């Protein structure tokens, strides 16, 4: 029967991609480690694949892989690039040649789904380990390849279990697994050593530990000394106990292990920095209400020991009144901001340094100044060295410009860059020089400041108020609404010792303010001196009881015994001797 040509346009063509099969192919090779790259494994894979291609007259249009990457996921770089490009390559590709199923993928069911998807697009995956049928693949070949992919996945899981078991054992023994953290490098399978970056890490910890600088200020100081580090990385460093010799890992399931790698900082410094970061109110976003009620983070209820919150009331006339409030149900105490603040300022005004202690304090602080400004002097030296190098660079490009080796425009461009950097360093040098001059006047200014805390708090901005509060009341300040007063037992000990108002002892309670230093090492590190000397530190001052006054005969009761060292290495603990 003759076909009616009017219906030819309604005919539907087959969607079978095999109807457009070409003789074009791509190669994918892979190994799991750098060691396998070195032993010529990649080249051996490529040789076998090219033999197969030549045998069946295939034209290799592109090669992928050729490097080491794990096959436990299909998101690896070279593999993902190949899958993305396969359907776009011109001329059209019909074959993907791999050495075996393990070189292709170890993802099991995901790998089977991927080969099925490629087949729908007219691309057939042929492993050399299952190539006996040549280019004519049948359902049995596909089944066998799928089974091989599942076995590859099972093999990978078995290896992972053994690897995890070995990693757990190594971690429990104190040895790090995998790539070492910033500041370390591998010497061998069991040994790590410090890199030059370890100096940067230690510097960052000490700036936070000694001076409680903000992260932003620490980053600026490090940059000024030639170190560059990202803000996010600095935060991670501060939270990683690896730097104080501890191992933490998900494989340890919460357990902390003493590592056998070298420490960059001590456990004491790490924990103190973590405490500073945890209690640093600057980590919180400050709302307008918090600015109006700066004691919100500091003030606590003396009954339930919970922190006060606050609220504001807007009157019909538009006036706003602020209140502090304890939200605990059994307390429900609220007090007007004006009353809370006036009492707080009154309390600060009573904190006055004992005038009789000022000469002694001045002498002590001058000794401490020499210790605490050691880093400053090192910074000054570093800045001067950087300035010298930059000046040498300017001289060099000037000479090259005169000799015609560089153009005047390039000379002008780089000279300006170097001179700008020199100007910035000169400013930093000026700051360092200023900080190192007139220490006695600076100390006198500081002692006068301690006697003006009420005015500083009252006239300061939010950050200033919070700084004063944190300095005095590191563990918070308790307020007794019934007596309308503050409980002062949570003062910074240094201020308690400097103010005789707070030396009154409760009945039956002994004062623990005056005691010899317990952290002074024994003899042997430095020559012993037989002259009289005693210990004086900001947190353990040998101050006489009220009314006795300050005299050498009293201080001699606190002299160091057994002719021990005349210098204590701990910051804030310094021997004072005539």
Residue 418 lies in a domain: yes
Judge if 515 and 432 occupy the same domain. Answer: no
Give phi and psi for 176, each to the nearest 5: -75, 145
370: nearest Cα among 417, 318, 440: 440
359-390 residue pLDDT tens: 888 888 888 777 767 777 778 888 888 889 99
Judge if 141 and 190 occupy the same domain. Answer: no
pLDDT at 491: 61
pLDDT at 498: 60
pLDDT at 543: 34
The enclosing domain of 141 has a CATH number of 3.40.50.1390
Judge if 137 and 244 occupy the same domain. Answer: no
Estimate to the nearest angstrom the gap between the alpha carbon of 102 and the chain centroid.
39
Mean pLDDT of 543-557: 34
DSSP label at residue 381: H
What does the alpha-carbon distance between residue 242 and residue 205 come to, in Å, rounded to a whole number?
A: 13
pLDDT at 210: 81
Joined together, the tokens standing for residue 390 give 């930059």
Judge if 244 and 196 occupy the same domain. Answer: yes
Judge if 133 and 188 occupy the same domain. Answer: no
Entry pTM:
0.41
pLDDT at 256: 92
Mean pLDDT is lowest, of 154-158, 274-278, 299-303, for: 154-158
Percentage of residues in the chain having pLDDT higher than 70: 76
pLDDT at 564: 33
Q: Which of 250, 279, 308 is the last residue of a domain?
A: 279
**463: which residues sit within 8 A by CB, 6+ positions away?**
282
Residue 471 lies in a domain: no
18-61 residue pLDDT tens: 557 888 999 988 887 766 665 678 888 888 888 998 888 999 99
Burial of 58 (0-12, 13-18, 19+ CB in 10 A): buried
171: nearest Cα among 300, 258, 267: 258
Judge if 504 and 442 occupy the same domain. Answer: no
Percentage of residues in the chain having pLDDT higher than 90: 11
Joined together, the tokens standing for residue 553 give 């005969």
Judge if 142 and 230 occupy the same domain. Answer: no
How many domains does one find in the chain? Answer: 4
Top pLDDT among 392 and 284 is at 392
Burial of 29 (0-12, 13-18, 19+ CB in 10 A): buried
Judge if 48 and 119 occupy the same domain. Answer: yes
pLDDT at 572: 38
Judge if 150 and 252 occupy the same domain. Answer: no
Range of the domain at 122: 17-158
pLDDT at 34: 66
Give phi and psi for 564, each to the nearest 5: -75, 180
Burial annotation 206-241 (CB, 10 A radius, 16+ → b, else e): bbbbeebbebeebbebbebbebebeeeebeebbebe
Burial annotation 525-552 (CB, 10 A radius, 16+ → b, else e): eeeeeeeebbbbbbebbbbbeeeeebee
Residue 145 lies in a domain: yes
163-174 residue pLDDT tens: 788 888 889 999
**385: which residues sit within 8 A by CB, 6+ positions away?**
none
Mean pLDDT of 510-539: 33
**34: which residues sit within 8 A by CB, 6+ positions away?**
68
Joined together, the tokens standing for residue 46 give 């490529």
The enclosing domain of 266 has a CATH number of 3.90.1750.20
Judge if 84 and 135 occupy the same domain. Answer: yes
What does the alpha-carbon distance between residue 131 and residue 145 come to, in Å, rounded to a whole number?
A: 10
Q: With contact defined as beta carbons under 8 Å apart, do 521 and 561 qualify?
A: no
pLDDT band at 557 (very low <50, low <70, confident <90, very high): very low
Judge if 528 and 566 occupy the same domain. Answer: yes
Judge if 122 and 37 occupy the same domain. Answer: yes
- Other CB atoms within 10 A of residue 177 CB: 17
277-294 residue pLDDT tens: 886 544 444 444 467 888
Top pLDDT among 191 and 567 is at 191
pLDDT at 14: 61
DSSP label at residue 255: -
**458: which residues sit within 8 A by CB, 6+ positions away?**
345
What average pLDDT does the chain have?
A: 75
Residue 80 lies in a domain: yes
pLDDT at 185: 92
28: β partners: 64, 98
89-133 residue pLDDT tens: 878 888 989 888 777 877 778 777 888 888 888 888 888 877 777
Residue 192 lies in a domain: yes
């Amino acid at each position: 029967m003759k076909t009616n040509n009017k219906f030819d346009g309604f005919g539907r063509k087959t969607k079978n991609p095999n109807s457009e099969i070409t003789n074009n192919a791509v190669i994918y090779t892979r190994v799991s480690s750098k060691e396998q790259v070195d032993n010529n494994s990649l080249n051996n894979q490529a040789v076998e694949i090219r033999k197969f291609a030549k045998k069946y007259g295939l034209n290799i249009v592109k090669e992928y892989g050729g490097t080491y990457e794990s096959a436990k996921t299909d998101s690896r770089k070279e593999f993902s690039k190949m899958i993305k490009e396969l359907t776009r390559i011109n001329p059209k590709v019909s074959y993907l040649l791999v050495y075996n199923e393990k070189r292709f993928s170890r993802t099991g069911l995901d790998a089977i789904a991927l080969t099925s998807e490629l087949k729908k697009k007219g691309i057939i995956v042929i492993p050399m380990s299952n190539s006996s049928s040549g280019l004519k693949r049948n359902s049995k070949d596909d089944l066998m390849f799928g089974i091989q992919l599942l076995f590859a996945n099972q093999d990978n899981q078995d290896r992972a279990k053994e690897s995890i078991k070995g990693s757990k054992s190594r971690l429990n023994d104190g040895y790090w697994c995998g790539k070492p953290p910033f500041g370390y490098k591998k010497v061998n399978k069991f040994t790590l050593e410090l890199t030059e970056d370890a100096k940067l890490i230690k510097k960052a910890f000490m700036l936070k530990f000694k001076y409680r600088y903000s992260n932003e200020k620490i980053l600026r100081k490090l940059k000024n000394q030639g170190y560059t580090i990202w803000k996010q990385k600095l935060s991670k460093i501060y939270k990683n106990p690896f730097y104080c010799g501890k191992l933490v890992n998900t494989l340890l399931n919460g357990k902390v292990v003493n590592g056998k790698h070298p420490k960059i900082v001590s456990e004491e410094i790490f924990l103190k920095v973590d405490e500073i970061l945890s209690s640093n109110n600057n980590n919180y976003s400050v709302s307008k209400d918090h600015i109006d009620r700066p004691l919100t983070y500091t003030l606590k209820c003396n009954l339930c020991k919970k922190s006060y919150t606050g609220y504001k009331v807007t009157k019909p006339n538009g006036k706003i009144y602020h209140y502090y409030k304890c939200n605990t149900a059994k307390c429900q105490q609220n007090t007007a901001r004006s009353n809370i603040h006036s009492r707080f300022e009154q309390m600060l005004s009573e904190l006055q340094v004992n005038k009789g202690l000022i000469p002694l304090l001045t002498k002590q602080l001058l000794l401490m100044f020499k210790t605490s400004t050691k880093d400053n002097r090192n910074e000054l030296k570093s800045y001067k060295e950087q300035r010298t190098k930059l000046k040498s660079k300017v001289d060099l490009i000037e000479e090259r410009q005169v000799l015609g080796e560089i153009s005047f425009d390039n000379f002008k461009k780089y000279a300006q860059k170097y001179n700008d950097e020199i100007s910035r360093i000169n400013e930093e040098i000026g700051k360092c020089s200023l900080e190192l001059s007139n220490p006695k006047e600076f100390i006198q200014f500081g002692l006068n400041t301690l006697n003006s805390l009420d005015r500083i708090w009252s006239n300061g901005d939010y950050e200033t108020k919070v700084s004063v509060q944190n300095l005095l009341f590191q563990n918070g300040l308790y307020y007794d609404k019934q007596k309308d007063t503050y409980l002062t037992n949570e003062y910074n000990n240094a201020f308690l010792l400097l103010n005789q108002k707070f030396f009154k002892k409760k009945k039956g309670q002994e004062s623990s303010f005056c005691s010899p230093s317990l952290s002074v090492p024994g003899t042997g590190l430095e020559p012993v001196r037989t002259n009289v000397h005693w210990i004086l530190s900001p947190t353990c001052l040998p101050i006489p009881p009220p009314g006795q006054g300050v005299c050498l005969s009293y201080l001699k009761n606190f002299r160091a015994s057994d002719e021990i060292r005349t210098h204590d290495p701990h910051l804030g603990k310094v021997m004072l001797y005539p």
